[in-house]
Chain A
Amino acid sequence: MTEGPDLGKRPEDEPKPDLRKEEPEAAPEAGAESAAEGDTLLATQESGDRTRETIGEILRSDHPAVVTVLAVICAMIVGAILIVASDEATRNAAKYFTAAPGETFSAGWSAIKGAYVALFQGAIYNPEGQQLLAPISETLVYATPLILAGLSVTLAFRAGLFNIGAQGQILMSAAFAGYIGFAWHLPAGIHIVVAIIGGIIGGAIWAGIAGFLKAKTGAHEVITTIMLNYVGVFFINWLLTESWFQAPPFNQAVSRTIDGNAQFWHLFGSDMRVNFSFILAIAATAFTWWLLKYATFGFRIRTVGANQDAARTAGMSISSTYIWLMVVVGGLAGLAGVAQVLGDANNYQITASVDGGVGFTAITVALLGRGTAWGTFWAGLLFGALSAGSGQLQVATATPPDLVQVLQALVVLFIAAPGLIRLVFRLRRSKAGGSAVLAKGWNG
Chain B
Amino acid sequence: MTPELNENRDDVVESSVATVEVAPGEVVEQHVVELKQSTTRRIGTSAAFIVLGLIAAVVLGMSAGSHSTSFDLNGSQPGISVPKFSVPGVGLIVVCGIVIILLGAGHLVRSYSKRTLRWAGIAAGILFLVAFLTWAGTEGKQSVQVGSLLQQTLFLATPLILGSMAGLMCEKTAVINVAIEGQMLFGAFAGALFGTLASTWVGLIAAVAIGAVVGALLAVFAIKFTVNQIILGVVINAFALGLTGYLYDAIMADNGTGTNQPIPFSPIKIPVLGDIPVIGSLLFNQTIITYLMYLIVIVIDVMLLRSRWGLRTRAVGEHPKAADTVGINVLRLRYQNVIIGGGIAGLAGAALTIGSVGTFNKNMTSGQGFIALAALIFGRWTPRGALGASLFFGFASALQVALSLLATPIKIDSNLLQMLPYLATIFAVAGLVGRVRAPAADGEPYVKGD
**A408 to B426, Cβ gap below 8 A?**
no
Listed in ascending order, the chain B residues whose CB lies under 8 Å from chain A are 174, 176, 221, 224-232, 234-239, 241-243, 245-251, 362, 367, 370-371, 373-374, 377-378, 413, 415-416, 418-419, 422-423, 425-426, 429-431, 433-438, 440, 442-444
B69: min CB distance to chain A, Å = 27
**B426 to A213, Cβ gap below 8 A?**
yes
Question: Which residues of chain A are within 8 angstroms of B174 by Cβ–Cβ distance?
Answer: 441
Q: Could you show 20 A-B contacts with beta carbons less than 8 Å apart? A: A86-B250, A218-B435, A220-B429, A222-B373, A230-B419, A231-B426, A241-B415, A400-B246, A400-B249, A402-B245, A405-B241, A407-B242, A408-B242, A409-B235, A409-B242, A417-B225, A441-B444, A442-B442, A443-B438, A443-B440
1/0 per residue A209-240: CB within 8 Å of B? 00001001111101110111111001101100
B450: min CB distance to chain A, Å = 13
* Given known A-B contacts A419-B225, A437-B228, A234 and B245 have beta carbons under 8 A apart: no
Nearest-neighbor residue (CB-CB) of B232 within chain A: A416
**A405 to B242, Cβ gap below 8 A?**
yes
1/0 per residue A424-444: CB within 8 Å of B? 000000000001010111111
A233: min CB distance to chain B, Å = 9
**A419 to B229, Cβ gap below 8 A?**
no
* Given A219-B430, A220-B429, A419-B227, 9 new contacts (CB under 8 A): A224-B430, A228-B422, A230-B418, A360-B237, A413-B235, A416-B227, A419-B224, A420-B225, A440-B230
Nearest-neighbor residue (CB-CB) of A167 within chain B: B367
Question: Which residues of chain A are within 8 angstroms of B440 by Cβ–Cβ distance?
Answer: 443
**A419 to B226, Cβ gap below 8 A?**
yes
Chain B CB within 8 A of A280 CB = no
**B422 to A364, Cβ gap below 8 A?**
no
**B418 to A234, Cβ gap below 8 A?**
yes
Q: SS class of chain B's interface: helix, strand, loop or mixed?
A: helix
Nearest-neighbor residue (CB-CB) of B425 within chain A: A227
1/0 per residue A399-422: CB within 8 Å of B? 011111111111011001111100
Question: Which residues of chain B are within 8 angstroms of A367 by Cβ–Cβ distance?
Answer: 231, 234-235
Chain B CB within 8 A of A164 CB = yes
1/0 per residue A111-126: CB within 8 Å of B? 0000000000000000
Chain B CB within 8 A of A82 CB = yes
**B419 to A217, Cβ gap below 8 A?**
no
The 9 closest A-B CB pairs, nearest first, are A441-B443, A405-B242, A400-B249, A218-B435, A86-B250, A409-B239, A402-B245, A419-B225, A238-B415
**B370 to A226, Cβ gap below 8 A?**
yes
Question: Which residues of chain B are within 8 angstroms of A86 by Cβ–Cβ distance?
Answer: 246-247, 250-251
Nearest-neighbor residue (CB-CB) of B171 within chain A: A442
Nearest-neighbor residue (CB-CB) of A420 within chain B: B225
**Considering the chains assembled together, what is the distance between the CA atoms of A412 and B176 in angstroms?**
18
**B443 to A223, Cβ gap below 8 A?**
no
Question: Which residues of chain A are within 8 angstroms of B237 by Cβ–Cβ distance?
Answer: 360
**A227 to B426, Cβ gap below 8 A?**
yes
**B245 to A405, Cβ gap below 8 A?**
yes
**A439 to B238, Cβ gap below 8 A?**
no
**Considering the chains assembled together, what is the distance between the CA atoms of A222 and B442 in angstroms?**
15
**B245 to A364, Cβ gap below 8 A?**
no
Contact of A417 among B227, B370, B416, B442 (CB under 8 A): B227
Chain B CB within 8 A of A374 CB = no
Nearest-neighbor residue (CB-CB) of B424 within chain A: A227
Chain B CB within 8 A of A278 CB = no
**B415 to A230, Cβ gap below 8 A?**
no
Chain B CB within 8 A of A142 CB = no
**B242 to A406, Cβ gap below 8 A?**
yes
**B228 to A82, Cβ gap below 8 A?**
no
Contact of B176 among A218, A241, A400, A442 (CB under 8 A): A442
* Given known A-B contacts A227-B423, A402-B245, A219 and B429 have beta carbons under 8 A apart: yes
**B429 to A224, Cβ gap below 8 A?**
yes
**A227 to B431, Cβ gap below 8 A?**
no
Question: Which residues of chain B are within 8 angstroms of A403 by Cβ–Cβ distance?
Answer: 242, 246
**Considering the chains assembled together, what is the distance between the CA atoms of A357 and B239 in angstroms?**
15
Contact of B425 among A223, A406, A413, A435 (CB under 8 A): A223
**Considering the chains assembled together, what is the distance between the CA atoms of A162 and B178 in angstroms?**
12
Chain B CB within 8 A of A363 CB = yes
Nearest-neighbor residue (CB-CB) of B381 within chain A: A442
